[in-house]
Structure 1
């Protein structure tokens, strides 16, 4: 029989298995509902999962890598896709890639091959132009030269309830060593989401609000703000917006073809049959594909209790006070 004393001892042993610091930064240990450690490190008020950092960041030194990214040199035709986690990054990256090629065709490469978090300076410089870069980094971590030269940014936002549900399943599907990154319940994960243990300090709300403020304060900056829900509701309309923003030639036939190829189930199938999905091989639990789950709007209704929804709504009102952003929680 497991006692509280045994549980406490187990947690202490688990805690001891992690270093107190990583790359000179303190390692913060939280615990999921199963009593398993959930270690993170914070760089410039941005939270990184320790397991993913050690596995995916070039050289494993996140401090040096963040500085490297800030100092990369922009090219004239660079486009940067920015999203908070689980907000449609793969989706919009595929749309942008097809539009810039002028062909509704899948490439074998996945968007992580151009994701700032996971590629080295040499790999960034080796990318062929035009570069469709992407990142979950907050605004304050973006390459300075890219911002100074006003390279185009596409920012996609998703309602935070669906983000929370999608993140929960995402972390449950990722492995850290022999176990999963997160082993707790959704209720316990939602508590972490509320306490801002995940993502940028200030969480989802700070991420999207920083971009909103930036766009208002820099009216001449070429930034396109899109909503995940709008793309889902009327993909051809939103894809046309992207084509116009990118200033690429397009036809109604191309827009229709891109919309069809970028439907969720088609992207999921392509990821399995065509893409070189090295992410799945490297960090997926039991090797299962985990980047594409449902891609729907309103799945949160299957996970939130009435009490959780009421608390979330109250918190959301505080987060978005004074904001002009309008999110759809169902279609």
Structure 2
């Protein structure tokens, strides 16, 4: 999949692009949104765009237009400030100036069972993206050290998440705001207010409520169809048209068998036994 995307010009060649990202120009008001795939980045990107813009209006473009992995530095340089970048990269591969100067980072988390289901469902929208069934996918998600199915950068969810926790423990320059997908679903006004305060944007009650309403799952799904220019996505357009699938917490229960769930819990317990992050699997 990654090779196809590179050859058809959808994304830059990762073998060279990672060094380019590290040296890209940084502006003091840049904001970076970091998350593992399918943690809710389209949702948070739209919310944050509204907060930075000061208007509860949908952006006419997709978040792909400001994604570090999918964009050339020339394209990113042409974006107007404040720029909101989004990425699945680990902290150590962010632009070096952004790391050195303590750029604002939004770190989004979601329970890994719903991530696994959402990721599998998205890949199945792309022809030949993943040939196996959900049980095959569950094995890959749990045990593979990383591959092109799971992210551009070769890390799996466990490694990616533990790496970020270590950064949060040790990096003194870190200027980070963490959001749990499940908290945002339960208390959107409260979580959006916290995010807006972190960004230095308005926390006026009426404005936050309007942003929350515009960015409800139902309204976001409608806006993705009616207002987004997805022309840049070329062969991936079908996959992005169906990006907003359910937006639920706990949909994993409709997919996991008892045996699959027990295996997932065991692997999670073993690999994340020293991790301080807590996940909600139902709300």
Distance (Å, rounded) in 2 between the aligned partners of 1:279 and 1:186: 30
Query: Is this contact kept in 1: 2:59–2:228, CA < 8 A?
Result: yes
| SS in structure 2 of the partner of residue 324 of structure 1 | coil
Between the two structures, name the one with larger relative contact order (CA 8 Å, sep ≥ 6): 2
The residue number in structure 2 matching 1:189 is 137
1:263 and 2:211 aligned: no
What is the SS of the residue equivalent to 1:249? coil
**How many residues are paired up?**
278
Residue 125 of structure 2: aligned partner: 173
1:141 corresponding residue in structure 2? 93
2:32 to 80, 87, 99: 80
Partners of 2:5 and 2:274 in 1: CA distance? 35
* Length-normalised TM-score, structure 1: 0.80
Q: 1:56 to 1:291 in 2, by over 3 A?
A: farther
1:160 and 2:112 aligned: yes
TM, length-normalised to structure 2: 0.93
Contact 1:168 1:186 in 2 (8 A): yes
Q: Tell me the CA shift for residue 70 of structure 1.
A: 1.0
2:196 alignment counterpart: 243
For the Cα contact (< 8 Å) 1:297–1:330, is it kept in 2?
A: yes
Question: Aligned runs of 1:91-240 on 2, under 5 Å?
Answer: 91-174=43-126, 179-196=127-144, 197=147, 198-199=150-151, 200-240=153-193
Q: Quick one: distance in 1 between partners of 2:240 and 2:48?
A: 26
2:271 maps to 1:325: no
| Structure 1 CA distance for aligned equivalents of residues 158 and 5 of structure 2 | 23
Structure-2 change in CA distance of 1:109 and 1:303 (3 Å): same
Paired residues of 2:117 and 2:255 also in contact (CA < 8 A): yes
Bigger Rg over Cα? 1
Deviation at 1:280, TM superposition (A): 5.5
CA distance in structure 2 between the aligned counterparts of 1:104 and 1:56, rounded to whole angstroms: 33
Residues in 1 aligned to 2:240 and 2:155: alpha-carbon distance in whole angstroms: 31
Indicate the SS of the match to 2:61.
Answer: coil
User: Bigger CA drift: 275-284 or 153-162?
Assistant: 275-284
Q: In structure 2, what is the equivalent of residue 293 of structure 1?
A: 245
SS at match of 1:225: strand
Structure 2 residue runs without a partner (length 5+): none
Q: CA deviation at 1:221?
A: 1.9
Instruction: Calculate the aligned-residue CA RMSD, in Å.
Output: 1.7
Structure 1: how far apart are the matches of 2:65 and 2:29?
18
Question: Which residue of the other structure, out of 6, 11, 16, is the alignment partner of 1:64?
Answer: 16
Q: How far, CA to CA, are the matches of 2:165 and 2:240 in structure 1?
A: 36
Q: Secondary structure at the match of 1:173?
A: coil
* C-alpha spacing 1:219/1:235, structure 2 compared with 1 (3 Å): farther
Residue by residue over 1:284-313, the C-alpha shift from the partner in whole angstroms, topping out at 9 and shown as x without a partner, is 45x771211111110100000000000000
Compare the two structures and name the one with the higher strand fraction: 1
CA contact (8 A) 1:93 1:134 kept: yes
Tell me how far 1:281 sits from its aligned partner: 4.3
